[in-house]
Amino acid sequence: MKLASLKGGRDGRLAVVSHDLAWCVEAQPIVATLQAALDDWAAYEPQLRALAVSLETGGAPRRRFHEHDAASPLPRAYQWADGSAYVNHVQLVRRARGAETPASFWTEPLMYQGGSDGFLGPRDPIPLADPAWGCDLEGEVAVIVGDVPQGADRQTALAAVRLVMLANDVSLRNLIPEELGKGFGFFQSKPASAFSPVAVTPDELEGWRDGKLHGALEMELNGTELGCADAGVDMTFDFGTLIAHAARTRALSAGTIVGSGTVSNRGDDGGPGRPVAEGGVGYSCLAELRTVETLAYGAPRTGFLKAGDRVRIEMRDGRRHSIFGAIEQDVADS
Amino acid sequence: MKLASLKGGRDGRLAVVSHDLAWCVEAQPIVATLQAALDDWAAYEPQLRALAVSLETGGAPRRRFHEHDAASPLPRAYQWADGSAYVNHVQLVRRARGAETPASFWTEPLMYQGGSDGFLGPRDPIPLADPAWGCDLEGEVAVIVGDVPQGADRQTALAAVRLVMLANDVSLRNLIPEELGKGFGFFQSKPASAFSPVAVTPDELEGWRDGKLHGALEMELNGTELGCADAGVDMTFDFGTLIAHAARTRALSAGTIVGSGTVSNRGDDGGPGRPVAEGGVGYSCLAELRTVETLAYGAPRTGFLKAGDRVRIEMRDGRRHSIFGAIEQDVADS
């Protein structure tokens, strides 16, 4: 089942979307918003699935689905807990600022509490008040969970995954060192994130296994490929482990979004991997590319995002059909 | 105007509470939940205020208000941004772990992104799975804001304050050093917070001026006074400054809660202040008391919270009437 939230109001209007993303039907007669559906998933899921079947078979009064009509599946959420499961990414970004990666990072997930009071829509501009902040995109996989009890183990946590989607975790790189230096984590350096137009139940994803989403995460910057790392590769901590980490000391409420962190694959030699232009799978953020450029040339050659830049994040299935729709955002002065 | 959310469902049932906290009337005919009221405050505030007048004058079908029937005013919220505005507290807690306080802490607010997907009710037990985590209470003042645009200045930010309340920002002290050492801020070390039974509009608070709430924050542990620090004293950053800090790089959505951090007054000599038993105003958390004990005796004498302990947080007006009702929580095995 594929779900979207059409723009409208603070929480959007829940819609069921066809497998090929061509059609949709509003879920209003059943439940008005995705958060409301998640709040009582056992009651609503069967009804929404029945509507999805009806949509595929032509029984529902369908209309065209346009990705630019979609808000993020949860336009606002009660929690956005973003992991950093691709330790290759962590190593690269830390190397850029001359920091070692502690050995514990390979055995204990890193996770930060993100702002969730308002997400950008998948086609909304990224507002940037000051280009000196060093705006970057971060391509990720994210899941929405149901209620997770405190102390849940990995299996219980994994069973709570309701929906999977893609994320652009916008980051202000030049604000990060000072902010992390204060010791309280990210705040100003993480403005609003965006999620893919469509969220998909795990059973509909051929690449979903072992708590990971396998498949190339296609990253583009101004129409040029930035990366195509496989989200199922080099993910040190699967979503079950990430969710259990988040729930170690407190329960998680339905509608909590848990992120994978920036997707990142090591190179064949175990090193940072090569840019797309040099035959590698590239990167899911500019920070990694800039680090690799610095290692190669002594300084980064790629600038951070500026007004007018366009970023695109998408994943396709075995037949090259878009699974979640595309996050496609222009950077705009704000 | 005083508002509460009576327990029921994930978001409670909004009620208007009388000034003396004796009576309430459900707001359902106007708006069902506090979040819904905040989402369109301009429309609902006048109607809720009219209901409040009707309640005081006996015109509304009132019933007794019992604090133990109340959830936190927002049982779950889209954002909980907790500052650390009493730098005296920061100094004391850092001193406990041998860390200096950077000079910038006096000029730039510290703030962390807290979990907001589920808050404890003001009389709910604090679930504690492992006493070795070092459970502590933290008495704070918190505000709920309306929409705040990105880049708002202090005055704009202050004008967005809709409601004021008290908070118990439960902390797991023994998990903090390792978690902050990883660089991504608090996550497991900050389980669910609790807020006072009642949230109050600023106009009804005689102690609300200059973006601060003046008045003694009464802290009790097992019936013994732990502290009575004045929340209007030694608050280095007022709420306008804290909110503007939170909104520097992104807008804040209506219903965002911004916290003051642990209320803390310096001693007459400018030092950490004395315990209540020695004639001082004491402390709003155990960590400060333990630091002072360590300075005096070489080791802390007060343990962290354990099952069976009871904490109480309250503030009274000039006539000794409770303003927000009391947070009163027992610690319980979970």
Q: What would the pLDDT profile of A272-310 be if each residue is shown by its tens digit? A: 899 999 999 999 999 999 999 998 999 999 999 999 999
- Which pLDDT value is given to residue B300? 95
* Integer CA distances (angstroms), A17 to A199, A255, B12, B114, B314, in order: 9, 19, 32, 33, 50
pLDDT at B271 over 90: no
State the nearest Cα–Cα gap between A20 and chain B, in angstroms.
32
- Which pLDDT value is given to residue A94? 83
Does A77 lie at the interface with B, CB-CB under 8 angstroms? Answer: yes
d(CA A182, CA B102): 9
Q: What percent of chain B has pLDDT over 70?
A: 100
Q: How many residues does chain B have?
A: 334
Find chain A residues with C-beta within 8 A of B151's C-beta. Answer: 129, 334
Q: Decide: A117 and B255 in contact? Cβ < 8 Å.
A: yes
CB-nearest partner of A186 from B110, B185, B255: B185
pLDDT at B15 over 90: yes
For Cα atoms B104, B108, B112, give the angle at the middle one, nearest 5 degrees: 110
Q: List A residues 201-220 in contact with B (Cβ-Cβ < 8 A).
A: none
Bridge partners (DSSP) of residue B38 are none
pLDDT band of B143, cuts 50, 70, 90: very high
pLDDT at B137 over 90: yes
Q: List A residues 254-273 in contact with B (Cβ-Cβ < 8 A).
A: 255-256
d(CA A238, CA B170): 29
Q: What percent of chain A has pLDDT over 90?
A: 90
pLDDT at B299 over 80: yes
Find chain A residues with C-beta within 8 A of B110's C-beta. Answer: 182-184
Residues A252-269, mean pLDDT to the nearest whole number: 96
- Encoded amino acid at A140, one letter: E
pLDDT at A334 over 90: no
A&B contacts, CB < 8 Å: 135
Residues B86-109, mean pLDDT to the nearest whole number: 86
- Note the pLDDT tens digit of each residue in A149-205: 999 999 999 999 999 999 999 999 999 999 998 989 999 999 999 999 999 999 999
- Encoded amino acid at B178, one letter: E
Estimate the crossing angle of helix B87-96 against helix B286-297, to 10 degrees.
Answer: 50
State the nearest Cα–Cα gap between A307 and chain B, in angstroms.
15
CB-nearest partner of B110 from A81, A184, A189: A184
Q: Answer whether A182 sits within 8 Å of B110, measured CB to CB.
A: yes
Q: Which residue has the higher pLDDT, A77 or B93?
A: A77
Find chain A residues with C-beta within 8 A of B180's C-beta. Answer: 183-184
Rank A181-185, B89-93, B307-311 by mean pLDDT and report only the highest. Answer: B307-311
Q: Which of A288, A285, A287, A292 is nearest to A311 (CA)?
A: A285
Alpha carbon A97 to its chain centroid, in Å, reads 25
pLDDT band of A95, cuts 50, 70, 90: confident
Other residues' Cβ atoms within 10 Å of the Cβ of residue A8: 14
pLDDT at A96 over 80: no
State the nearest Cα–Cα gap between B187 and chain A, in angstroms.
6
Does A334 lie at the interface with B, CB-CB under 8 angstroms? Answer: yes
Q: What is the largest CA-CA distance in chain A?
A: 61
State the nearest Cα–Cα gap between A13 and chain B, in angstroms.
16
Alpha helices in A97-249 (DSSP H): 154-159, 176-181, 239-246
d(CA B281, CA B79): 31
Residue to test with chain B: of A10, A108, A111, A117, most B Cβ within 10 A = A117
The two beta strands, B310-314 and B161-168, are unpaired
Q: Which residues have a Cβ under 8 Å from the Cβ of A95 and sit 6 or more positions away?
A: A272, A291, A295
- Which pLDDT value is given to residue A159? 98
Residues A58-69, mean pLDDT to the nearest whole number: 94
Range name among A108-117, A160-169, B178-187 with the lowest pLDDT average: B178-187
pLDDT at B89 over 80: yes
d(CA B3, CA B200): 6
Q: Which residue of B has its CA nearest to A111?
A: B184
Does A41 lie at the interface with B, CB-CB under 8 angstroms? Answer: no
- Which pLDDT value is given to residue A270? 83
Residues A76-105, mean pLDDT to the nearest whole number: 89
